[in-house]
Amino acid sequence: MKIALAGAGAFGEKHLDGLAKIDGVEVVSLVGRTLDKTKAIAEKHGVGHATTELDEALAISDVDAVILCTPTQMHAAQAIACMDAGKHVEVEIPLADSLADSQAVLAKQKETGLVCMVGHTRRFNPSHQWVRNKITAGELAIQQMDVQTYFFRRTNMNARGEPRSWTDHLLWHHAAHTVDLFQYQTGEKVVAAHAVEGPHHPELGIAMDMSIQLKTENGKLCTLSLSFNNDGPLGTFFRYICDNGTYIARYDDLVTGREEAIDVSDVDVSMNGIELQDREFVAAIREGREPNSSVAQVLPCYEVLHQLDEQLARDRTA
């Protein structure tokens, strides 16, 4: 399978590392913002073609699929362009920064029948898979999820501390992980959602702090705190409060509520959530099936984000 990858930044390289571990997969084209840097990363990972134009990669006849690690604001239009070119596509989270764009991507997927998957990596992290396996086996039921998403990012920087060409967003990007995971793990739709936000950054124009509360149809709760102002441990930490134990997931690692380590090394074929996400994308294409984290499956997340976005907009003008 021949893949083109668009977005030669910090997350793009994580995908290149993951794809290198999947048999029968070759990245044949790398798309980036600046040609010199893109060529250097392509050479580092053994990719034969580098360009600054996605259309150039889409024109390569034997490219089967595309992975988009580009700025959020480009995701929907680029995903649609990939499917229009007859390519399967995996879009890094978030799918879009509006519900209308998310719905447009789903409509194109239904029209073409191609695989369109969204990079909701938490579904694939071994830590969260372990919890899900317990839930599906009837051994656990979630009562509440308490989640912290914390960064120290007061300028436009990526995960490697390099300047970004676009502005990140607590609601439409970072909250998407938790809103989707909460509905996925509980198996229930969110029926009540509320958010409050702190002051907007004078230059970035985004809220730097946010708090979100969610409730499912059967009363399961989620409390999510997000901040770009946190000077401490960075990342997202999930506390699952269940009827039969408490568990804390930190990316691919899992401990009990008493900080006792849980071995999740045998949950899947890898301990790397990004690699497992890419393996699902490739497998779905090969097997002609809907992938876990398909655009159809994650759309309810973007419906909740839209609801929260509208509520915050009303609050700002009240």
Q: Rounded to whole angstroms, what are the CA distances from 148 to 216, 222, 236, 237? A: 19, 11, 5, 5
Confidence of residue 306 (pLDDT cuts 50, 70, 90): very high
HSE (side-chain half, CA atoms, 13 Å) at 231: 1
Task: State the residue range of the domain holding 16.
Answer: 2-119+274-294
Note whether 151 and 188 are same-domain residues.
Answer: yes
Note whether 31 and 128 are same-domain residues.
Answer: no
Q: Give the E-state strand segments of the chain in sequence order.
A: 2-6, 26-31, 50-51, 65-68, 88-92, 116-119, 142-150, 190-197, 209-216, 221-227, 235-242, 245-250, 253-256
Note whether 231 and 126 are same-domain residues.
Answer: yes
Note whether 83 and 158 are same-domain residues.
Answer: no
pLDDT value, residue 152 = 87
φ, ψ of residue 229 in degrees (nearest 5):
-105, 5
Note whether 199 and 286 are same-domain residues.
Answer: no
pLDDT value, residue 60 = 97
Note whether 31 and 144 are same-domain residues.
Answer: no
pLDDT value, residue 204 = 84
Note whether 310 and 171 are same-domain residues.
Answer: yes
Strands 50-51, 190-197: pairing kind? unpaired
Note whether 167 and 279 are same-domain residues.
Answer: no
Nearest to 120 by CA among 273, 309, 311: 273
Note whether 17 and 64 are same-domain residues.
Answer: yes
Tokens of 123: 């579904």
CATH of the domain at 138: 3.30.360.10
Number of structural domains (the chain) is 2
Residue pLDDT, tens place only, 147-206: 999 998 777 666 666 666 666 889 999 999 999 999 999 999 999 999 999 999 988 888
Note whether 113 and 220 are same-domain residues.
Answer: no
Nearest to 191 by CA among 310, 299, 307: 307
CATH of the domain at 84: 3.40.50.720
pLDDT value, residue 163 = 65
Note whether 288 and 221 are same-domain residues.
Answer: no
120-134, 197-211, 242-256 — which is least confidently predicted? 197-211
Is residue 66 within 8 A of residue 282, CB to CB? The reply is no
Average pLDDT value over all residues in the chain: 95
